[in-house]
């Protein structure tokens, strides 16, 4: 599939209306110029089978009932919407947290993992492979596969294995085989590469349980459909508890699964500003951050045409973030489209700003957020300075127990 030329202008109103109406992805898996499917021929049949199966199952009342029963009885949905009164007072805003950290396994990743694990079983897969950066998707995949009775292999970059050791132990306790990837940048990008290689070797018997809203079609669509439960619940809870929709909803963005899950159900609400926060790392130079939307250019990575961090020769560059889950040089194609039409604003916060916001959340709310989530908190703090008194909703995507070794090491250094 040939990449479409990136247009200098898109009709924002028509494109947004088409997205809300379900016309994206189109029949080619495109979100405007983004998305598509750039894979070896050996995977085309597997992806066709996955798309047919996913569309059939996700529209089937019996499958939806099975999925929703797992969300309610095992994942613990709906997750709470909590007023963060003390932190809001500190920042001068009305602050609400969508508590995905209270979902089973400690992050939003479980919504997608159990949905795809059920799909894998329905499609007759014999085993599951997955990738992980921060480890939360790996833990969720391991737990979901244990739940449905499928063996699971998780690929994880060597650097992430070291900085996310508690999650590695959890995955193994849950029965997964964890493979440390020592090639290339040894982070999430390398883990995805190895998971894809494994899948290519047995596309008929292996199901690739992709954890973010990236990759070849239909994965960005599947992940969005499974994660949109976050935004649907949050929207209903804001009306019931706050008496109104938020002025803005803020979420961290790496590949973009928790953000697209929160944002998508709010796209028709023009009064709600949607803000995605990327990892600004330790500087503006290539290799110092993971701010793909803010600083990226269109290109192909991991089977999809989207925005990437690349050098002048088009080579994808290594990234940096204190957060393992945001340390990725690409972003989901729907995010690329939302940026192109101006429906979501994307900004960055630095490592230091994220850690400061994490400390505030701990001290004022008694909640230890994940380092990924801490970026969203810092982004909301930026917004609070610009819009004092605003009603802000933050996607609190995960808990930070997994990050304690990294935080301790940073304090000691």
Together in a domain, 168 and 208: yes
- What pLDDT does 8 receive? 54
Q: Please identify, among 183, 203, 224, the residue that sits at the C-terminal boundary of a domain.
A: 224
Mean pLDDT, residues 41-62 taken together: 96
Together in a domain, 167 and 251: no
- What pLDDT does 310 receive? 96
- Domain contains 88: yes
State residue 326 phi and psi, 5-degree precision. Answer: -105, 0
Task: Assign residue 57 the CATH number of its domain.
Answer: 3.40.50.1100
Contact by Cβ (8 Å): 223, 258: no
- What pLDDT does 134 receive? 76
Together in a domain, 287 and 407: yes
Together in a domain, 149 and 264: no
First to last CA, the chain: 48
Question: Please, which residues have CB within 8 angstroms of residue 240's CB and are 6 or more apart in sequence?
Answer: none
How do 94-99 and 391-396 pair as beta strands?
A: parallel
- What pLDDT does 124 receive? 96
The helix/strand count (H/E) of the chain reads as 17, 14
Nearest to 274 by CA among 179, 355, 343, 372: 343
> How confident is the model over 330-378, as pLDDT tens digits?
999 999 999 999 999 999 999 999 999 999 999 999 999 999 999 999 9
- Domain contains 382: yes
Together in a domain, 260 and 315: yes
Together in a domain, 48 and 141: yes
23 has pLDDT over 70:
yes
Q: What percent of the chain has pLDDT over 90?
A: 90
Together in a domain, 127 and 187: yes
- Domain contains 309: yes
For residues 117 and 209, give the distance between their C-alpha atoms in angstroms, rounded to a whole number: 7
Q: How confident is the model at residue 233 (pLDDT cuts 50, 70, 90)?
A: very high
Question: Please, which residues have CB within 8 angstroms of residue 92's CB and are 6 or more apart in sequence?
Answer: 384, 388, 389
- What pLDDT does 3 receive? 60
4 has pLDDT over 70:
no
Q: Please identify, among 224, 248, 268, the residue that sits at the C-terminal boundary of a domain.
A: 224
Please, where are the H alpha helices in 109-164?
Answer: 109-122, 136-148, 158-163
Q: To which residue do tokens 């304090």 refer?
A: 411
- What pLDDT does 54 receive? 97
Mean pLDDT, residues 167-173 taken together: 95
- What pLDDT does 102 receive? 98
Together in a domain, 121 and 103: no
- Domain contains 296: yes
Q: Please identify, among 188, 209, 224, the residue that sits at the C-terminal boundary of a domain.
A: 224
> How confident is the model over 263-272, as pLDDT tens digits?
999 999 999 9
For residues 362 and 357, give the distance between their C-alpha atoms in angstroms, rounded to a whole number: 9
Mean pLDDT, residues 27-54 taken together: 95
Active-site annotation holder among 141, 190, 323, 397: 397
Six-digit token pair at 189?
A: 């990008």
Mean pLDDT, residues 120-134 taken together: 94
- What pLDDT does 185 receive? 83
Domain count along the chain = 2
For residues 140 and 408, give the distance between their C-alpha atoms in angstroms, rounded to a whole number: 25
Together in a domain, 98 and 233: yes
CA dihedral defined by 360, 276, 97, 357, rounded to 10 degrees?
0
- What pLDDT does 1 receive? 57
For residues 91 and 106, give the distance between their C-alpha atoms in angstroms, rounded to a whole number: 26
Q: Around Cβ 59, how many Cβ atoms within 10 Å? A: 9
131 given a catalytic annotation: yes
Together in a domain, 149 and 266: no
Together in a domain, 247 and 323: yes
Together in a domain, 240 and 387: yes
122 has pLDDT over 70:
yes
Active-site annotation holder among 51, 94, 109, 225: 109
Q: Which residues form the domain of 334?
A: 76-107+228-412
- Domain contains 12: no
- What pLDDT does 409 receive? 87
CA dihedral defined by 45, 47, 53, 55, rounded to 10 degrees?
-130
- Domain contains 368: yes
- Domain contains 132: yes
- What pLDDT does 133 receive? 85
225 given a catalytic annotation: no
- What pLDDT does 2 receive? 58
177 given a catalytic annotation: no
112 has pLDDT over 80:
yes
Nearest to 311 by CA among 295, 294, 334: 295
Active-site annotation holder among 51, 100, 131, 233: 131
- Domain contains 3: no
Q: How confident is the model at residue 187 (pLDDT cuts 50, 70, 90)?
A: confident
State residue 22 phi and psi, 5-degree precision. Answer: 85, 15
Can you say how many angstroms the Cα of residue 31 is from the centroid of all Cα atoms in its chain? 17
């Amino acid at each position: 599939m040939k990449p479409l030329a990136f247009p200098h202008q898109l009709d924002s109103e028509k494109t947004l209306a088409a997205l809300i109406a379900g016309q994206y992805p189109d029949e080619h898996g495109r979100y405007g110029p983004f998305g598509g499917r750039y894979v070896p021929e050996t995977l085309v049949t597997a992806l066709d089978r996955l798309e047919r199966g996913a569309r059939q199952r996700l529209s089937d009342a019996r499958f939806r009932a099975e999925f929703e029963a797992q969300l309610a009885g095992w994942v613990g949905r709906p997750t709470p919407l909590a007023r963060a009164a003390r932190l809001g007072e500190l920042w001068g805003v009305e602050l609400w947290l969508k508590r995905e950290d209270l979902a089973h396994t400690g992050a939003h990743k479980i919504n997608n993992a159990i949905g795809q694990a059920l799909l894998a079983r329905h499609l007759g897969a014999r085993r599951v492979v997955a990738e992980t950066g921060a480890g939360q998707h790996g833990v969720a995949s391991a737990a979901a596969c244990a739940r449905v009775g499928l063996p699971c292999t998780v690929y994880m970059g060597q650097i992430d294995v070291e900085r996310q050791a508690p999650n590695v132990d959890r995955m193994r306790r849950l029965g997964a085989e964890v493979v440390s990837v020592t090639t290339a940048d040894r982070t999430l990008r390398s883990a995805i590469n190895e998971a894809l290689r494994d899948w290519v070797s047995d596309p008929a018997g292996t199901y690739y349980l992709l954890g973010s809203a990236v990759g070849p079609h239909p994965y960005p669509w599947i992940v969005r459909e499974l994660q949109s439960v976050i935004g649907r619940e949050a929207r209903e809870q804001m009306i019931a508890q706050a008496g109104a929709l938020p002025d803005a909803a803020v979420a961290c963005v790496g590949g973009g699964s928790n953000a697209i899950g929160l944002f998508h159900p709010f796209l028709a609400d023009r009064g709600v500003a949607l803000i995605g926060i990327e990892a600004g790392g330790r500087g503006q130079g290539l290799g110092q951050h993971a701010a793909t939307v803010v600083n990226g250019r269109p290109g192909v990575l991991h089977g999809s045409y989207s925005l990437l961090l690349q050098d002048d020769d088009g080579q994808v560059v290594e990234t940096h973030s204190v957060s393992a889950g945001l340390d990725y040089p690409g972003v989901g194609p729907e995010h690329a489209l939302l940026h192109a039409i101006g429906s979501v604003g994307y900004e960055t916060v630095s490592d230091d700003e994220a850690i400061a916001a994490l400390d505030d959340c701990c001290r004022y709310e008694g909640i230890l957020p994940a380092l990924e989530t801490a970026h969203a908190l810092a982004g909301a703090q930026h917004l609070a300075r610009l819009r004092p008194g605003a009603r802000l909703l933050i996607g609190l995507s995960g808990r930070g127990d997994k990050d304690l070794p990294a935080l301790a090491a940073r304090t000691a250094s």
